[in-house]
Each structure stands twice: as structure tokens, then as C-alpha cells.
Structure 1
Amino acid sequence: MDWDQFDLNPKVIAALKKADIKSIKEILNLSGSDLQRLMKLSSADVECLLKTVSHTLRRNSMLTALQLYQDNDHLTSQHQKLSLGCSVLDNLLKGGIPLVGITELAGESSAGKTQISLQLCLCVQYPYRYGGLESGAVYICTEDVFPSKRLQQLIGQQQKLRADVPAEVIRKIKFGNSIFVEHAADLDTFHSCITKRISLLLARGMVRLVVVDSIAALFRCEFGVSDSVTKARYLQTFGAQLHSLSARFRAPIMCVNQVSDAVSESEAARCSCSVADNRVSPALGITWANQLLMRLMVSRVSPLERSVGVASCHTGSLRTLRVVFAPHLPPSCCYYTVKLEGVKGME
């Protein structure tokens, strides 16, 4: 830190250099009395130093409402989203997946969780103006083999799905150098993966999306009923680590989760989704739910539910995407289908 650039008394600058204080962080980590003893300055000089440092940190950090309104090109992390590659689904989510925070996608088997995740891995590669982040993705598999064949199929069908994107842009979407696949079958491997490998990829700017498929598989056989406290600590640790990565690199985290039947009345009351007349709830309980920014649930539409509206007019396999909770969205849902070209919402 070049203290000579600060508007400080030369005596204070000399004291900073003599005390070997090299950063603003070191100053803020010390109390006023500690600074006085360390730098041998008066309380007035220390107060002036703290005010100058605080002013430097606050400079240009605040924007007026008029500045935000006029700055059309600047999108803050609170408002910028990662598109799902479908206008109907993006409208439901008011633009897509938030860049900062953990988004959970829960649902029963064959509801379309992996299909949506794969589509996100392609969407993140698109330019900003088409809802992408102009970067790659890392896909962490915890139980199944990565569906590379299906991903290649989606890449070949992108022109049909993204009619709004020019063909020359679609031709740049690829698998090999833009989507990194990691396998983590146990908790230790997963911890090492997110703290070392994923952190490195994010730091180098090679990826801006992390998909975990699935988070529940890591805890399926590791813990018994008596290990609930240990399990909760692992969930809190992983949640904090993923949040830190997301906030530091403004990279959305998508965690696929499984569901379990709600057997008690209290569980049934907390359920947010009904699948084929059976109430289900996302796995891992309230500890994991507290780590999430947004929870989405997907389900297959049963024949009994095809009585009215769009569901009765569609003959193929129909699914529902539901917003369970999010700080910026009300509970809502829409229908979608999984076709050869990808996931498509229905008006």
C-alpha cells in the first residue's frame, strides 16, 4: 500500500511505515488504542487516520436511485440472472437463476432435473445479451455417470431450441473445453473438489456455473439416525463453502436434490409438492433448506391432473416446475416438456 497517496499528515505516514502496516485491512483490524501504542501517535492523529481510511473505502460505493435508473448497461448481481434457455421458464423465474446464492432443484426420478441442469451448462456459454455468462460450467456427479451422450445431443439441437440466437453464436457452444466433469462419491472427495479444483476453475475464469447432481446422494449411506448432529455440521460446512464461492466469483450454484415421502402429519403440512397423489418433501431437512436462496421443485403430471387447461391438450410427458420459495419470487408454477432439443416451457 502506497501511503503517500493518502491525504494524511506526513508524521502519520511515517508512523505507518515504521510500524510496518501495509494495508487498510491491518488498520481496521486494530482498535484505536492499539494503533496509538503501535504507532506512538495521539488519539487525534489516529482518529484522522481512521476517518481517511473509511472515506477511501466508501468512495464511489454508493449510487443514487437516479444513477441506477440511468445506468442501463450496469446489471448488479442482485438483478442479473442466468437464463434457462426458455422464455417461459425465464418468465416464471423473472429472468432465470440468480448469480449469487444456492438454487436447489428437487424432484422425484425422471422429473427432468438432470435435463434442466444440462441445459444450464449450455446456456452459461452464451453471450450476456442472450442470458448467458460467456463462460463454462463444472458438473459434479455424485452417483451416476455423466450423461455426455445426451449433452452432445442437446448441443446438436440448440438451433431448434434457441431460435432467438444467431447460428454463428450457437456454433461456438461446445462440450470439451467448456464443461468440466468431476466425480465425487463421498464427502471427503466432494470437500476436496469444491475447495481445490472448483475454486481454481472459478479463480481462473474458466467457469461461472457449478452444478451438483445430486447433493442428497452424498448423505444417503454416510449417516444413521443417531448421527444427525454430525450430518447437520457437514451440511452447514458445505453450504457455507458453496455460498463463499458463489459470492466471491458471482457464480450461480445449482444443487440437484431428491425427495422423500412425508409420512407424518407435521411433514405433510410442510410439503410443497404433490406427486401422483403422494406428498413428498425435499431430502436433507431444514438444515439444508436454510442454506438455500431459492428452492425449485419438479414433478411429472399424473393423468388425473390433466383435467383442465394446457395439461389436457398435451399428449406427451408433461412436467411441472414450481417455485417453492425465493426472496424475489412468489410461489408459482408452470408446465414444461422434455424434448429432443431440450426443456421447453408451455404457456
Structure 2
Amino acid sequence: MDWDQFDMNPKVIAAVKKDLQRLTKLSSMDVQCLLKTVSGTLRKSCVLTALQLYQDKDNCMSQQQKLSLGCSVLDNLLRGGIPVVGITELAGESSAGKTQISLQLSLSVQYPYEYGGLESGAVYICTEDVFPNKRLQQLIDQQHKFRADVPLDVIQKIKFGNSIFIEHVADLDTFYNCITKRITLLLSRGMVRLVVIDSMAALFRGEFGAKDSVTKAKYLQTFGAKLHSLSSRYRTPILCINQVTDAVDETDVGQSNFGLLDKNVSPALGLTWSNQLLMRLMASRLTQSQQSPVGALQHIGSVLRTLRVVFAPHLPQSFCCYAVDLEGVKGVKVKSPL
């Protein structure tokens, strides 16, 4: 990018060039080259040649790669699963099924590539509740039923329980040390290819008051930048669980629900955190009165829930229903409303 192409007063550009030439004793050609190099670096030139794309073909392929949820209905909603590079947020109220989906992904990541996995383990960062070991063991024991699409001998070779690393953190400093040291070490050694944080909002509960919004935003930006760096460097999906808060006005309601549900809630942590995300999903638990309007088939013995795409660069705003049973999280096909 040439400096002359910037939307700036030509006098300002000329003065900068003149001062640089005077202070550095460089020729006008050298100064022009310097300015061009600096401006190109700062703008992170987003225009690539065909040769650059070919040389970075592994990175381009990872942008299209997905981690399957192990369920065809849920994968269809997400066009294959969650992206391998980037931060995906899963927000929702208590008992909406967020932890169930997280555990399912922690198992799915261990499957071979041909079955939607990444052939590696997962690290699960708990920030508030005790890790649900009993539920995880149930899911492991039921894998031969849940993943009927995978040959039994393949399932039996996977050491599910030995490939999930559990980290407990209770404050912001401990969390930062965890992702910069422990998680980085696991990723660099190829021991994990999925990072789950359950939950982000719990780290900030009670830490900041109304006057501390700037400090809170800096923490969120720092965490977001580090997580992005880890995801990009190691081609690792980052799944962040988030809580919800009551929407305070009609704008919040519209942005959080898009008219699909009757719940006036929005994800916690605000706009600063939203800007760190590649994709936002919301899980909701349906009441009896809500099941009929969406045309969902009754799933006997289970409470119906919905998983919605709030925003993503590659997906439209859409949703599907799912239920949680002993075997795991299963999408439920819906009828068209009358």
C-alpha cells in the first residue's frame, strides 16, 4: 500500500517524508520504500497472490476444516461442525445443555479425521463447577451406541478418558497462566486439539464494578488475543461457554434472539467479548408451550432444547432442536409449522 493512496492531506504526507529524510539522512527513494513497507505491515495486507495462497495451502485448508459434534442433525446446522481455527462461543441459560455439548465435543475430537475428529485430546478448563466425571464416563460407555457410524474396533482403540485434561481455575491471573503455560505446552506437544472453557463469565463475576469497564475490556481483549493466537498457531478450535443476562431493552432482545424464541436474554460479557468471537451459538431449553409452535417432533422421555446460530461468517441465522439422553446430545428433526 503506497502512502499516496491514504485518505490524508498531501501536505501531511509530504511533511512526514521530508522529516524522515532529514532525520535519518536517507534518500527520498529509501524513505518511500520505508513508508511503503511499514504501511503494508500495519495494514496486514489482505490481498494475496495465487502463489501466496498455494504456499499457505495448509492454513487455507484448516480454515475449512470442522470438528464434528458426532450428530448429523447438529452437524448439518453448522455445515460440518465447529471451525478448527477461531473462537466459538456457546451461550445459554442454566440446564440448556451447554456442558453436555462440550463433553460430546471432547470425545468427538479424539476420533479419526474420516469420522469428523482431529485424532487428539481435549483440555477442559473449569472455572466454577466441579467437572462432571460421572456424566463423562456415561458418555464414554455409550460411544459404541451413540457413534453407530464408526466401526466398533475403531472406537475400542480410542482411550477416551486418558485424553481429556482437566484444569481448575478460579481467578483471572490463574486463568491467564493456564492458557499461556499449561495449555500452550499441551498444544505444542500435540496432546490436545480442542480447548473448552467452562465458563468465561464466571471469571469476571464479582471482579469488576461499573467503574471498571475499561479494565474489564482490557482483560477480555488480552484473553481473546491469546486464545486466537493459540487457535491459529496450533489449528485448534476454542470453545468458550458463556452465561446469559436479562436483556435490558428491545435492541438487546432483537440481537440475542432474532425472533426464534420468547426469552429476553443476551450473552454476558458485552460487546468487547463479542468482537473476539468467530461464531456465537445459543442453547435454550424449551418449555411445553414452546415445543408445538416450532413444530418439533416429541422426543419421548427428554426435554427438547434448541441450538441456534446467532452469528458466523459462513452460516445463516438458523436453529435446530435437540435432546439429551444417556448416549449423548442428539438432534431432533422438526416438522414444518402449520
Do the structures match in fold with TM over 0.5? yes
**What corresponds to 1:182 in structure 2?**
167
Alignment of 1:107-126 (within 5 A): 107-126=92-111
Q: Contact 1:293 / 1:327 at 8 angstroms: preserved in 2? A: yes
Deviation at 1:281, TM superposition (A): 0.2
Q: Contact 2:110 / 2:158 at 8 angstroms: preserved in 1? A: yes
Provide the identity percentage: 70
Q: Which amino acid aligns with 2:323?
A: T
Q: Contact 2:127 / 2:168 at 8 angstroms: preserved in 1? A: yes
Matched residue count:
296
**2:309 matched to 1:323?**
yes
**What corresponds to 2:7 in structure 1?**
none
Q: Contact 2:110 / 2:160 at 8 angstroms: preserved in 1? A: no
**2:78 matched to 1:100?**
no
Q: Contact 2:224 / 2:273 at 8 angstroms: preserved in 1? A: yes
Q: CA offsets, 1:321-343, max 9 Å, x none? A: 00000000000000000010000
SS at match of 1:126: coil
Q: Which amino acid aligns with 2:236?
A: A
Instruction: State the 4+ residue runs in structure 1 displaced beyond 6 angstroms.
Output: 273-276
SS at match of 1:77: helix
Deviation at 1:77, TM superposition (A): 1.1
Change (3 A) 1:312 1:166: closer
In structure 2, C-alpha distance between the alignment counterparts of 1:332 and 1:275, rounded to whole Å: 9
Q: Contact 2:323 / 2:331 at 8 angstroms: preserved in 1? A: yes
Alignment of 1:1-347 (within 5 A): 61-63=52-54, 76-272=61-257, 277-308=262-293, 310-311=295-296, 313-315=298-300, 316-347=302-333
Q: CA offsets, 1:252-289, max 9 Å, x none? A: 00000000111233323332267984310000011100
In structure 2, C-alpha distance between the alignment counterparts of 1:274 and 1:336, rounded to whole Å: 19
Change (3 A) 1:231 1:166: same
Change (3 A) 1:60 1:270: closer
Please report the RMSD computed on the Cα atoms of aligned residues, expressed in angstroms. Answer: 3.0
Pick which of 274-283 and 207-216 moved more: 274-283
In structure 2, C-alpha distance between the alignment counterparts of 1:98 and 1:265, rounded to whole Å: 31
TM-score by length of 1: 0.78
In structure 1, C-alpha distance between the alignment counterparts of 2:265 and 2:297, rounded to whole Å: 24
Higher Rg: 1
Deviation at 1:149, TM superposition (A): 1.1
Q: Contact 1:215 / 1:255 at 8 angstroms: preserved in 2? A: yes
Structure 2 spans left out of the alignment, 5+ residues: 1-25, 38-48, 334-338
TM-score by length of 2: 0.80
Deviation at 1:59, TM superposition (A): 10
Deviation at 1:160, TM superposition (A): 1.0
Change (3 A) 1:228 1:328: same
